[in-house]
Amino acid sequence: MGVLNLAVRDGVLLMTIDHPPVNALSRTVRAGLMEALARLAGDALLRGGVLLGADNIFVGGADIREFGKPASAPTLPEVLAVLEACPKPVVAGLNGAALGGGLELALACDARIALPSAVVGLPEVTLGIIPGAGGTQRLPRLTGLAAAIRLIGTGAKLKADEALRQGILDDIAPDDLPGAAIAWLHGPASAKRPVSARTVPADAPSAVEAAAQAAVKTGKGRPAVRAAIAAVKEAAEVPFAEALQHERHAFETLRASPEAAALRHIFFAEREAVRLPESLRQKPRQLETIAVIGAGTMGAGIALSVLEAGFWLILLDQNAALLAAAGAGLLRQLDERAQAGKISFSSAERARERLILANGWQEIDSADLIIEAVYEDLSVKQEVFRQLDAYAKPHAVLATNTSYLDIDQIAAATSRPRDVLGLHFFSPAHVMKLLEVVQGAQTTPDVLSAGMELGKRLQKLPVMCENRFGFIGNRIYNAYRTHCEFMLEDGAWPEQVDEALEAFGFAMGPFAVMDMSGLDIAWRMRKSRAAGRDPRARHVPVLEALCEQDRFGRKSNIGYYSYDGGKRAKETDQTVRAIIAAASEKRGIRRRDLSPEEIQRRALMTMANEAALLLAEGVAQRASDIDVVLVNGYGFPRWMGGPVHWARGQGRAKLEEGFDIIGEAMGFGFRRGDVDLLL
């Protein structure tokens, strides 16, 4: 068995790519295709060929082991040129995902037939590049410019029925895919008909421009998106061969860019993050029934994720009205998501049948894993865990959804701390992919494995970390936000800090985020830790002053900013500025202008310093996990790769200088991270 298996059936050469796990187009696969195409062209007894993929996938894309490396012969464009020039017709049989180079391979065939489960897409822009083997030229010849821009410019994926409607597929086979492809080759439409010879279907210029603007907005104007749009437009303006050269040049240029390197870094980091260290890998405990304690916003969001993942769900809350409202909301959301095509109607119906609403502790005795999602208060959570200790079955996994509380103090409320771990979901829980899986001092490896397994089955990114205040994400974000408050006292206004960091690429600036999440949440956390704060440490009292005036952010329509009909004011008002100016005066600071560049550098250096401290303490098991957490949970720009990747690009001298600056700003209590841990 090689990477390309050949067989002859009814005068047709079946070429099956067999290169686990995703049939990636590695050099050996490309070389095998060249040999198979030579056989097809030279054998007079063969009528045509069919390209297939083994193990329920066509081709998942390029070989990730070749990412960032110069292409080796034969390149994919060379293979596709030979495929298209082959004198015998070739049909692509899509039995699963055809993504990136996999779809480009299919587009170079004379026809495309798929199973109903197939998915197609050209997601290259998500890696900071564009399709480099004709995807930007062949696709619009099937779909028109507007649809091609929507697909390529956003990296979206299409199900088989939609791909058929848009002209990407020629047919959908209900079952016997090889048989359907062979029948096509013996049918009346079996002549060679290369996509490159077709003209681009006419689209209204306004439709093309609307699609381009939407793609730019979705992709935040990144260079790869703009390059993809320009390349697609050339399909209607430039001869095919010339446009292919332009496409390849843009592909190679983008592939060598820092942005593409950052996106490759986070791509690999996410795949590594879900792996536990060798010493902790054990078979996870069985998970079939999940209980969620607390029917509030977070609990309901977790519950929806659990239902859609196929688990039985017990949602428990002793507030009957809240429980009934949450249950009705879950059923409504399942219906809405089915109507929107996000899940099938049959899946929604099965999920409805798996929902159990409970208001008595005894009803959780069948749960394999129980997630507490109540108010963020240590004593409240400890009381819940006393109940879990009494009613949960032996060996059930007991999980707390907490943002910053001590897992071990919560576990101490039980007689079985070995069964306890943290599962820090991010809000909204059914949308956000990140899940911090927190190991307590006594958490056993099989419990930790169960937490990671749950994350994967919920289609989230589980990242393991040790039990320290704030875990990975909130620990770094708290340091970042605190230093941004220092910059308020030093002379910046909140909107200047927010604008500078949004210009860097953050989804939102820190003060806009605080207003959105609620200033009272941070205020409550600070009050709980106030007794342990050294009075010599720099502390900015602005947030407390705002909360004392009932300025809690969006929930009260006024916080750092005021909100009119939900719309945020561009600038902070005089009340906020007076509070900040008073804080500066009390500390004896002469306010000065801070440039956007200084704001960005100080904020990012603070993140990098805290990341080094986390690594030294063993909170994160690998540096790249920190990048995964900050990119997926805290709005750090993906195309910058995360704070550690950013720090590595600065070099030792700039990091040392940056740490000096933030250390001087903080003063007493500053802990300097080890630069070597970042490089």
Is the pLDDT confidence value at 1 over 60?
no
Is the pLDDT confidence value at 106 over 90?
yes
Q: Report how far residue 269's alpha carbon sits from residue 271's, in angstroms, rounded to the nearest whole number.
A: 5
pLDDT of residue 566: 80
Tens digits of residue pLDDT in 501-526 = 999 999 999 999 999 988 988 888 78
pLDDT of residue 12: 97
Contacts of 604 (CB under 8 A, 6+ apart): 504, 643, 646, 647, 658
Tens digits of residue pLDDT in 201-215 = 999 999 999 999 999
Is the pLDDT confidence value at 189 over 90?
no
Q: pTM score, two decimals?
A: 0.91
Token output for 198: 């077709």
Classify 635 as helix, strand or coil. coil
HSE-up of 553 (CA within 13 Å, CB side)?
Answer: 16
What are the b/e assignments for 276-289, b being 16+ CB within 10 Å?
beeebeeebbebeb
Cβ–Cβ < 8 Å for 114, 168: no
Query: For 102-117, what is the mean pLDDT?
Result: 97
Average confidence score pLDDT of the chain: 94
Look at the block and give the residue holding tokens 């589980």. Answer: 462
Burial status of residue 44 (CB atoms within 10 A of its CB: 0-12, 13-18, 19 or more): exposed
Among 66, 78, 84, 104, which one carries the catalytic annotation? 104
Active site residue 349: no
Nearest to 539 by CA among 554, 523, 553, 552: 523
pLDDT of residue 361: 95
Q: Is the model more confident about 521 or about 451?
A: 451
Token output for 193: 């008909």
HSE-up of 340 (CA within 13 Å, CB side)?
Answer: 7
Is the pLDDT confidence value at 614 over 90?
yes
Q: Report how far residue 635's alpha carbon sits from residue 642's, in angstroms, rounded to the nearest whole number.
A: 10
pLDDT of residue 294: 95
Amino acid at 339: Q
Which residues, in sequence order, are bridge partners of residue 73? none
pLDDT of residue 550: 94
Classify 425 as helix, strand or coil. strand
Residue spans of alpha helices (H) in 155-203:
160-165, 177-185
Tens digits of residue pLDDT in 7-20 = 999 999 999 999 99
CA angle centred on 494, ends 493 and 497, rounded to 5°: 90
pLDDT of residue 343: 86
pLDDT of residue 69: 76
Query: For 620-625, what is the mean pLDDT?
Result: 96
Active site residue 124: yes
Q: Report how far residue 30's alpha carbon sits from residue 74's, in angstroms, rounded to the nearest whole number.
A: 6
pLDDT of residue 481: 95
Strand bridging mode 97-99 / 157-159: unpaired
Cis peptide before 74 (omega within 30 of 0): yes
- How large is the greatest C-alpha to C-alpha distance in the chain, in angstroms? 91
Is the pLDDT confidence value at 188 over 90?
no
pLDDT of residue 565: 82
Look at the block and give the residue holding tokens 């054990």. Answer: 282
Is the pLDDT confidence value at 582 over 60?
yes
Query: For 430-448, what is the mean pLDDT?
Result: 96
- E-assigned strand segments in 452-546: 461-466
Look at the block and give the residue holding tokens 């006393």. Answer: 386
462 pLDDT band, cuts 50/70/90, is: very high
HSE-up of 292 (CA within 13 Å, CB side)?
Answer: 29
Cβ–Cβ < 8 Å for 678, 612: yes
Q: Report how far residue 452's alpha carbon sits from residue 334's, in angstroms, rounded to the nearest whole number.
A: 25
Backbone φ and ψ of 326, nearest 5°: -65, -40
Nearest to 52 by CA among 4, 108, 122: 4
Cβ–Cβ < 8 Å for 96, 57: yes
Q: Report how far residue 304's alpha carbon sits from residue 327's, in angstroms, rounded to the nearest whole number.
A: 10
534 pLDDT band, cuts 50/70/90, is: confident
pLDDT of residue 65: 75
Is the pLDDT confidence value at 232 over 90?
yes
Query: For 240-267, what is the mean pLDDT?
Result: 95
Which residues, in sequence order, are bridge partners of residue 356? 314
Backbone φ and ψ of 406, nearest 5°: -75, 115
Q: Domains (ranges, CATH) in the chain?
A: 4-260 (3.90.226.10), 287-467 (3.40.50.720), 474-677 (1.10.1040.50)
Q: What Rg value do the Cα atoms of the chain yield, rounded?
A: 28
pLDDT of residue 70: 76
Tens digits of residue pLDDT in 25-81 = 999 999 999 999 999 999 999 999 999 999 999 999 988 778 777 778 899 999 999
Percent of the chain whose predicted confidence (pLDDT) is above 70? 100
Q: Report how far residue 640's alpha carbon sits from residue 642's, in angstroms, rounded to the nearest whole number.
A: 6
Tens digits of residue pLDDT in 387-415 = 999 999 999 999 999 988 999 999 999 99
Tell me the CA distances in angstroms from 478 to 273, 474, 551, one per residue in order. 22, 6, 20
Nearest to 250 by CA among 275, 279, 230, 273: 230
Q: Report how far residue 354's alpha carbon sits from residue 336's, in angstroms, rounded to the nearest whole number.
A: 17
pLDDT of residue 524: 83
* Length of the chain (residues): 679
- E-assigned strand segments in 79-222: 90-94, 97-99, 111-114, 119-121, 157-159, 171-172
Among 84, 124, 259, 436, which one carries the catalytic annotation? 124
Is the pLDDT confidence value at 581 over 60?
yes
